[in-house]
Chains A and B, each alone.
Chain A
Amino acid sequence: MTVDQEADTLSRYQRVDARAKATGATRYVGDLSLPGLAHAAMARSTVAHARIRSINVSAARAVPGVIGVFTAADVSAGLYGRGVADAPILARDKVRFVGERVAAVVAETRRAAEQAAALVEVDYDPLPSMTTVEQALAPGAVPIHDEPWRYLRAAARQGDPVNVVYRSEHGSAAEFEAAFAAARFSVDRHYRTQGVHQGYLEPQACIAAYDSPESVRIWLTNKAPYTARRMVAECLGLEMTAVDVQPVPLGGDFGGKGSPQDALICVELSRLTGRPVKSVLRYVEDLTATNPRHPAQFRVRVACDEAGRLVAAAISCQLNSGAYGGFTPNATGPRHVVEVPSYRVPVLWTEMTRVYTNTVPRGNMRAPGAVQGTFAFESALDELAAEAGIDAVEIRRRNLLRTGEADSAGHTWAEHRGIEVLDAALAALEPVAVPAGWHYGRGVAIYSRSNITLVNMSLRLTPVAGDRIRAETTLTETGTGNHTILRQLLADQLGVPAAHVEVTGVPTSELPDDLGAGASRVTTGLAALVDAAAKAWGNRSSDEPVALHLDGPVEPRVGSYTVQIAQVAVDPATGKLRVLGIHTAIDVAGVVNPVAHQLQIDGGVMMGFGYACLEDLDESDGQVWAASLGEFKLPSARDAPPMTTLLVPGGIGVGTANVKSVGESATPPVAAAIANAVFDAARCRIRELPITADRIFAVLREQA
Chain B
Amino acid sequence: MSELGFVAPATIDGALAELAAGGALALAGGTSVALLLKNQLTETDRLVYLGRIPDLAGIREEDRQLRIGATVTLRELATASSVRARLPALAEAAGKVGNPRIRAVATVGGGVIHGDPRQDLPPVLLAAGASVRLVSKRGTREMELGRFLRGFFETAIEPDELLTEVLVPLDPAVRCRYTRFNAGSEDDYPTVTVAVSWRLRGDGAVTAARVVVGGAAPTVQLAAGAATLLEGAVPSPGLIARVAASAAAGCTPSGGGSSPAGYKRAMVEVWVRRALTALSADGGVTGSATRG
Contact = CB atoms under 8 A, between A and B. Distances in A.
Interface string B182-204: 01111110010000000000000
Interface centre among A626, A635, A692 (most CB of B within 10 A): A692
A694 B265 CA distance: 11
Contacts of B181: 574, 576
A636 B184 CA distance: 11
A576 B274 CA distance: 15
A692 B183 contact: yes
A532 B263 CA distance: 61
A614 B257 contact: no
Contacts of A407: none
A636 B187 contact: yes
A235 interface: no
Interface string B72-87: 0000000000000000
A576 B187 contact: no
A636 B258 contact: no
Interface string A611-646: 001101010000000100011010110110000000
Given A616-B258, A618-B257, A697-B263, A692 B184 contact: yes
Interface string B254-279: 00011110010011001000000000
B40 interface: yes
Contacts of B259: 694
Nearest to B191: A693
Given A118-B40, A573-B270, A574-B270, A694 B185 contact: no
A192 to B, nearest CB: 15
Contacts of B266: 697, 701
B268 to A, nearest CB: 11
Contacts of B184: 613-614, 633, 692-693
Nearest to A64: B1
A698 interface: yes
Contacts of A618: 257
Contacts of A692: 183-184, 258
B275 to A, nearest CB: 13
B187 A638 contact: yes
Contacts of B258: 616, 690, 692, 694
Contacts of A694: 183, 258-260, 263
B263 A636 contact: no
B183 A631 contact: no
Given A574-B183, A613-B184, A639-B187, A631 B270 contact: no
Contacts of A575: 183, 263
B257 to A, nearest CB: 7
A27 B267 CA distance: 47
B263 to A, nearest CB: 4
Given A573-B270, A698-B263, A693 B183 contact: yes
Nearest to B185: A633
Interface in B206-258: 257-258
Given A694-B258, A694-B263, A576 B188 contact: no
Nearest to B259: A694
Contacts of B270: 573-574
Contacts of B267: 574
Contacts of B263: 575, 693-694, 697-698
A638 B191 CA distance: 17
Nearest to B258: A692
B186 A576 contact: no
A91 B270 CA distance: 51
Nearest to A63: B1
Interface residues of B, number: 17
A618 B270 CA distance: 27
A701 B270 CA distance: 13
Contacts, number: 48
A438 to B, nearest CB: 14
A614 B185 contact: yes
Interface string A686-704: 0000101110011001000
A249 B268 CA distance: 48
Interface in A626-680: 626, 630-631, 633, 635-636, 638-639
Nearest to A613: B184
B185 A636 contact: yes
Contacts of B183: 574-576, 692-694
Contacts of B188: 630, 633
Nearest to B263: A694
Contact of B186 (A118, A630, A639, A697): A639
Contacts of A626: 257
Interface string A519-561: 0000000000000000000000000000000000000000000
A121 to B, nearest CB: 16
Nearest to B39: A284
A639 B259 CA distance: 18
A626 B257 CA distance: 8
Contacts of A631: 257
Contacts of A616: 258
Nearest to B182: A576
B25 to A, nearest CB: 19
A435 to B, nearest CB: 13
Contacts of B40: 118
A436 to B, nearest CB: 13
A109 to B, nearest CB: 14
Contact of A635 (B185, B191, B257, B260): B185
B89 to A, nearest CB: 21
B99 to A, nearest CB: 9
A633 B188 CA distance: 8
A697 B192 CA distance: 15
Nearest to B40: A118
B132 to A, nearest CB: 27
Nearest to B186: A638
A530 B123 CA distance: 63
Nearest to B255: A694
B63 to A, nearest CB: 40
Contacts of A701: 266
A384 B191 CA distance: 35
A543 to B, nearest CB: 54
Interface string B103-118: 0000000000000000
Nearest to A633: B185
B185 A639 contact: yes
A636 B186 CA distance: 8
A636 B100 CA distance: 14
A568 to B, nearest CB: 15
A693 B182 CA distance: 9
A683 B260 CA distance: 22
A616 B256 CA distance: 12
B36 to A, nearest CB: 14
A690 B187 CA distance: 17
A576 B191 CA distance: 11
B4 to A, nearest CB: 12
Nearest to A114: B40
Nearest to B264: A694
A635 B184 CA distance: 10
Nearest to B187: A636
A693 B183 CA distance: 6
Interface in A351-393: none
Nearest to B181: A574
A613 B188 CA distance: 14
A635 B186 CA distance: 9
Interface in B140-190: 181, 183-188
A170 to B, nearest CB: 36
Given A614-B185, A618-B257, 18 more contacts: A118-B40, A575-B183, A575-B263, A576-B183, A630-B188, A633-B187, A633-B188, A639-B185, A639-B186, A690-B258, A692-B184, A692-B258, A693-B263, A694-B183, A694-B258, A697-B263, A698-B263, A701-B266
10 contacts: A573-B270, A576-B181, A576-B183, A616-B258, A626-B257, A633-B184, A636-B186, A639-B185, A694-B258, A697-B263
Q: Which 4 A-B pairs have the closest CB atoms?
A: A694-B263, A693-B183, A636-B187, A633-B185
